[in-house]
Amino acid sequence: MIGTVFRSEDVPPEGGFDCWRDMIVRTRSTDAVDAQAEGFRAELRLMELGPVTVWHASLAPTRFWRSTGGTRGGRREHLRVTLLLDGTMSLTQQSGRETVLGPHELHLADGAQPFPVRPHPQECRSLTGVGVNVPKALLPLPPQRVQDLSGRGFSAREGTGALLAEFLVGLVRQADVLRPCDASRLGTTVLDLVSAWLSHALAGESALPAESVRRALSERIRAFVRGQLHDPELTPAVIAAAHHISLSHLHRVFTEESGGETLAAWIRARRLEQAHRDLADPALRTTPIHTVAARWGFPRAGDFTRAFRCAYGLSPREHRQQSLGDASRP
């Protein structure tokens, strides 16, 4: 498991809010909190991924205040990206401008700028969000240009914003099975995705170093492939066209970022992993093996059996029987 989890239900009711406030103040999140302590409820997961911190929170409608003084751990030197998943928040900048942040919107805040955050006046539901705190010094973009984006909301439904949002949500979902040794590499990926998103928002992807652009493209390719594994017609040519790059560039970028593994081999391995999982799932014990194979892009049973045996040392049927302890349908 990666991260630390706080749940208000795990502490005495009279101390829940104080424990929450102490944890918040000790992180890079918020310097001060103002809320009704009575009946306060919240859940927070913090994941330290190298230099970046990913967090997920669910809490009752609450008022926050970030000030510029008294920060710990260099929080003034961080940017905070927030994705609100449920609920509505209102943020007021120093200029007096108010920004309303709704579900599936990304918000960028500068740790050196104070701002109050409060629930929308008509909000009574619990607020749920995920986000990341990133050191400014690690972003390969001009600080002043990034600061110009602070306090604004951006859609997380398409493009690099959607890719960043999906990756953050995926990290939270998989946190219990990820290992501490994964943290640093995952942090690098988060940093690259934040950089790509900010660069896109500034309409200047050329401002990114070639290495960051390559990494971000590689992540977009992987995310696209994972969503299309079921399609037997998924080929490198289709992937290249979807990303508006040449076939040779696709192969070069992927091979460089995967340590020499080819794109075709990576796709085959991911398909086999999914089929391997499904064949061991008790809920799918009556699903024919050829149906499982077709679901993950293997329309010909013979090809699937040979690839599966080569990868795992036994046939799909043998794997299912070993996993489920019974003779299942072919």
More confident site: 8 or 43: 43
Non-local (6+) Cβ contacts of 53 within 8 A are 27, 28, 46, 47, 132, 133
What is the structure's pLDDT at 317?
Answer: 95
Non-local (6+) Cβ contacts of 124 within 8 A are 61
Q: Are strands 105-110 and 78-86 parallel, antiparallel or unpaired?
A: antiparallel
Stretch 115-127: mean pLDDT: 56
What is the structure's pLDDT at 201?
Answer: 83
Whether the CB-CB separation of 121 and 88 falls below 8 Å is answered with: no
Q: How many residues does the chain have?
A: 330
* Arithmetic mean of pLDDT over the chain: 79
pLDDT of residue 67 exceeding 60, the answer is no
Task: Give the confidence band of 184 by pLDDT, cuts at 50, 70, 90.
Answer: confident
d(CA 68, CA 72): 11
For the stretch 90-107, pLDDT in tens is 666 555 556 677 788 888
Closest CA to 84 of 67, 61, 101, 66: 101
Q: pTM of the entire structure?
A: 0.61
d(CA 39, CA 64): 17
For the stretch 246-298, pLDDT in tens is 899 999 989 988 888 899 999 999 999 999 999 999 999 999 999 999 999 99
The domain locations on the chain are: 4-208, 266-324
CATH class of 4-208: mainly beta
Strand blocks (E) in the chain: 4-7, 32-34, 42-49, 52-59, 63-66, 78-86, 89-92, 98-101, 105-110, 115-119, 127-135, 153-155
d(CA 74, CA 233): 50
Q: Buried b vs exposed e over 276-295: b needs ≥16 C-beta within 10 Å?
A: bebbeeeebeebebbebbbb
More confident site: 208 or 253: 253
Whether the CB-CB separation of 48 and 186 falls below 8 Å is answered with: no
What is the structure's pLDDT at 70?
Answer: 42
Stretch 195-213: mean pLDDT: 74
